Structure 1
Amino acid sequence: MHFKYFVLGASVLFAQASPSAAQTAAQSTSEHSVHEAVPAANTPLTLDQAVEKALAANPGLRAAALDVAIAGGMRRQSALFPNPELSFVREGTQRGTRTQTVQLSQVLELGGKRSARIRLADSEQRLAAGSLDAARIDLRGDVTIAYFDALAAQERVRLAQASLDVATKATMAAAKRVAAGRVSPVEQDRAGVAQASSRLEFVEAEAKATVALYKLAAYWGDTSPPQHSLFMPDLDLTPPPPLAELERGLAQAPRVRRARLQIEREQAQVGLDRVQRIPDVTLIVGSKKDDEIGRSQTVVGLSVPLPLFNRNQGALQASLARADKAQAEFDAERLRLHQALADAHQRAQLSREQVRSMREEILPAAQRVFDAAVTGFEAGKFGFLDVLDAQRTLLQIRTQYIQALYERYRAVADLGRLAGTGAAPENRTTP
């Protein structure tokens, strides 16, 4: 009765994935590599470690940090005064009749141009720092989601491997029963079709897991997947804070602060363009030597441009429009964040109920159906197809449970990113 042993083994296999043994299955997943395609290391890669690696080596974040350094240099440059200009002029070529003039010119900025320029540089410096903060929060959220996507993909590989193992054993058992003349060859063909389908699902799951790991490693600049197993964080089914409470804190979210700083920057640009309409005065001091009369004369003068045509009116018009655009973008960003926050809050609530319902009701029921099908097959009440249908249903529900589980993780990560906390589940084994 080789097939009887197969059915008993399959029952044990799926019992390990049931809610009654969820703790054992989760601990096994967190302590060992889920598949040979992802080489395991002695130390698993936790979510916090993945985030720290990305914060330390992400190229995009380095670029944002360099923007801060660039803004610092521009702030230093904005405080500098215009350089004086030294000029030398010779009139005539014959000695005794020529004149030589040496003069020093200094531009005197009027209208508060220097202070306006400094205000603009200060606002750009604050904007660069705000953009860096927002980039850190976004990167933390992106890495968190990529980490959970990789965990979900690896879990699907494990389930696909379990399905392939069961289908392989079923095909072998069916072949033996056909050889013994106990069942029709059609049973063997059906088992073979199920095995081929499971093999395709396993290959597809492997490919998706590899892609997910490459995507995760790319956040810290690696072109190869991490050579570590991933650690399953704790499953937190605590209800999210009320949406109204999260919306009250949205005003301090990094993206909102960055949009507000952009408005300040454009307003500072308006101030600079407005004072640029005031012409500067150039002070000229020098000495003119006349060889013909044999004496030198002091040269003192002022140079003032006449603002007849260019009064910086076009630049001022453009900066005023950019300030209005920044305000409109701030309003749009705030509205978009409110919508995204409401969406993430709703997904967090929905996925929480899905996970709870599947863990407490649906998965145990599917396990009982599978156990009953196995028992009925042993008693001769059900056929082999009934066992396969029960097995397929259990695998589908288990896959849906994984999807709901990681939708919960992703929703929590989105809430942390939008609220500006960047919070992520703790790295403890799921109970």
Structure 2
Amino acid sequence: MYRVSVSSGMLALALLPVWTDGAVAQIVAPPPVHVSESKSVPTASPSSAPSTPALTLPQALERALAANPELSAARREAEAVAATIRQAGVIPNPNVSMAVEDRRRDTRTTAFELSQPIELGGKRAARVAAASRAYDTAQAELQAKAADIRALVITAFFSVLLEQERVRLANAALSIAQRGTDIAGRRVMAGKVSPVEETRARIAEAGVRLESQQAASDLILARRKLAATWGGNAMGMQAAVQVDGNLNSLPPEPSWDAIYAQLQDAPLMQRARTEIQRWQAQVDVEKSKRIPDVTVSLGMQRNNELGRDQALFGVSIPLPVFDRNQGNLLEALRRADKAGDELAAVAIRLDGELAQAYTTLHNAREQARVLRDDILPGAQSAYDAAARGFEFGKFSFLDVLDAQRTLLQTRTQHLRAMADAYAAAAEIDRVLGVSASASFNPSK
């Protein structure tokens, strides 16, 4: 399963004291999580800010499904296998032969002969059936690869969306920390607070600056991964990829019965079944080879010594005494048995992966909901109360820092829960197929 993570460095935002000249003002809390096209996202340098329109998830999927190199290779493989069906249906070519007896013209005998092999035992039909089953397997592999690419794009898209939000919060926090350091210095010079407060402010600013730089670096890496899904240059495309989406939108949670019913139609299950059919068709091919083919020949012979032409007619039939294709037949039978075992193994593996992804999706959704509806409002209220109380001298500055740390930790946990939810939804999408769970979209 693909995973996106949130750096624990966001906890450094908990040390952001902000003062005013007359009284201690409330520390500005980060606004609700939302990324839109109208908001620019800072990166490592101002010159690297993306200038192209923000990319939505459907657009990213369209790019990847059209230009991903691995998916293109799978398409080429399916096209190549399709050509084998045409080749399997052709009949053997005829043979033309000439024989000359005696070097002397007067007694020379010259023979011309045309021979045509005739396949018996249904060889051509068996070859066509085997090639058709191989084409079905290639198509199932193409569908499975498309599902993998779709899941990869969804995870990479949400990773960029998450890192954009981290950069925005980190840069906003850095601006607050810088302002707090400046005000703390002026209050120390005025003798209103201890120099320790200025030291705390500078330490907080340094920590937030490191977090801002780390967030900008992580955003570049996330953009490179997303651009790589459609074959974009890793070093040249990262600045051009900006995504548009709403981090408050959770992926839906379908019922277990609904998604489990689709498991039998998953691309990997279809591939395993078509692999069984392919080797069963190959068994028929090997069985047909046990029946020898007949070669019919027709020609004319000129005998100069007798001065006349003679017609030639012949039939050639191999005798299956030693080679009855027994080894190839046994191999095909064992390959068919192996394909049956692989189908059972794939079914067990996909069942476990689907159950794990569904459980992760359920837990992540529940965690994100509790954090958003219950814990975040409480942490925000506690922070507001601590800030107001400190302003009126009822609480110490450490109380404000603790409340702010709790608030920002909760926001970080909420982002991590959202990331886990979308990663699990993408995994379900990968297991069930490209169009199995297309209902979720973080761009909405």
Q: Same fold (TM over 0.5)?
A: yes
Secondary structure at the aligned position of 2:153 is classed as helix
- CA deviations on 1:147-166 (whole Å, 9 max, x unpaired) are 11111122122222233223
2:115 to 105, 124, 127: 105
Greater shift, 44-53 or 300-309, is seen at 300-309
Tell me which residue corresponds to 1:35: 42
Percent identity between matched residues is 42
1:416 to 423, 429, 436: 429
- CA deviations on 1:190-217 (whole Å, 9 max, x unpaired) are 3222222222222221111111111111
**Deviation (angstroms), 1:394:** 2.1
1:292 to 278, 302, 305: 305
Q: Read off the aligned partner of 2:375 and give its amino acid letter.
A: I
Find out whether 1:281 has 2:294 as its counterpart. yes
- CA deviations on 1:320-351 (whole Å, 9 max, x unpaired) are 22211211111111111111111111111111
Given that residues 113 and 276 in structure 1 are in contact (C-alpha distance below 8 angstroms), is that contact kept between their aligned partners in structure 2?
Answer: yes
Tell me which residue corresponds to 2:175: 165
- CA deviations on 1:157-201 (whole Å, 9 max, x unpaired) are 222223322332232233223323333333333322222222222
The 5 A counterparts of 1:378-389 are 378-389=391-402
Q: 1:235 to 1:300 in 2, by over 3 A?
A: farther
Q: Tell me how far apart the structure 1 counterparts of residues 149 and 191 of structure 2 sit (CA, whole Å).
A: 62
Q: Read off the aligned partner of 1:353 and give its amino acid letter.
A: E
1:96 to 67, 87, 106: 106
Given that residues 43 and 216 in structure 2 are in contact (C-alpha distance below 8 angstroms), is that contact kept between their aligned partners in structure 1?
Answer: no
Find out whether 1:177 has 2:190 as its counterpart. no
Given that residues 101 and 288 in structure 1 are in contact (C-alpha distance below 8 angstroms), is that contact kept between their aligned partners in structure 2?
Answer: yes
Given that residues 102 and 108 in structure 2 are in contact (C-alpha distance below 8 angstroms), is that contact kept between their aligned partners in structure 1?
Answer: yes
Given that residues 250 and 442 in structure 2 are in contact (C-alpha distance below 8 angstroms), is that contact kept between their aligned partners in structure 1?
Answer: no
Given that residues 223 and 241 in structure 2 are in contact (C-alpha distance below 8 angstroms), is that contact kept between their aligned partners in structure 1?
Answer: no
Q: Read off the aligned partner of 2:242 and give its amino acid letter.
A: S
Q: Read off the aligned partner of 1:136 and give its amino acid letter.
A: A
Q: 1:328 to 1:233 in 2, by over 3 A?
A: farther
Tell me which residue corresponds to 1:313: 326
Find out whether 1:215 has 2:225 as its counterpart. yes
Tell me which residue corresponds to 1:348: 361
Given that residues 107 and 282 in structure 1 are in contact (C-alpha distance below 8 angstroms), is that contact kept between their aligned partners in structure 2?
Answer: yes
**Deviation (angstroms), 1:52:** 0.9
Q: Read off the aligned partner of 1:190 and give its amino acid letter.
A: R
Find out whether 1:65 has 2:72 as its counterpart. no
Q: Tell me how far apart the structure 2 counterparts of residues 229 and 213 of structure 1 sit (CA, whole Å).
A: 8
Secondary structure at the aligned position of 1:297 is classed as strand
5+ residue gaps, structure 2: 1-17
**Deviation (angstroms), 1:415:** 2.4
Q: Tell me how far apart the structure 2 counterparts of residues 116 and 232 of structure 1 sit (CA, whole Å).
A: 53
Q: Tell me how far apart the structure 2 counterparts of residues 6 and 416 of structure 1 sit (CA, whole Å).
A: 56
Greater shift, 106-115 or 133-142, is seen at 133-142
Find out whether 1:302 has 2:330 as its counterpart. no
Tell me which residue corresponds to 1:3: 19
The 5 A counterparts of 1:110-121 are 110-121=120-131
Tell me which residue corresponds to 1:374: 387
**Deviation (angstroms), 1:290:** 2.4
**Deviation (angstroms), 1:358:** 0.6
Root mean square deviation, CA, Å: 2.5
Tell me which residue corresponds to 2:154: 144
Q: 1:295 to 1:226 in 2, by over 3 A?
A: farther
Q: Read off the aligned partner of 2:278 and give its amino acid letter.
A: R
TM-score (norm 2): 0.87
Given that residues 21 and 183 in structure 2 are in contact (C-alpha distance below 8 angstroms), is that contact kept between their aligned partners in structure 1?
Answer: no
5+ residue gaps, structure 1: none
Tell me which residue corresponds to 2:341: 328
Q: 1:176 to 1:161 in 2, by over 3 A?
A: same
Tell me which residue corresponds to 2:5: none
Count of residue pairs the alignment pairs up: 420
Given that residues 35 and 158 in structure 1 are in contact (C-alpha distance below 8 angstroms), is that contact kept between their aligned partners in structure 2?
Answer: yes
Q: Tell me how far apart the structure 2 counterparts of residues 106 and 7 of structure 1 sit (CA, whole Å).
A: 105
- CA deviations on 1:24-46 (whole Å, 9 max, x unpaired) are x52x6453222245634463211
Secondary structure at the aligned position of 2:324 is classed as coil
Q: 1:212 to 1:42 in 2, by over 3 A?
A: closer
Q: Tell me how far apart the structure 2 counterparts of residues 8 and 212 of structure 1 sit (CA, whole Å).
A: 39
Q: Tell me how far apart the structure 1 counterparts of residues 298 and 313 of structure 2 sit (CA, whole Å).
A: 5
Given that residues 88 and 124 in structure 2 are in contact (C-alpha distance below 8 angstroms), is that contact kept between their aligned partners in structure 1?
Answer: yes
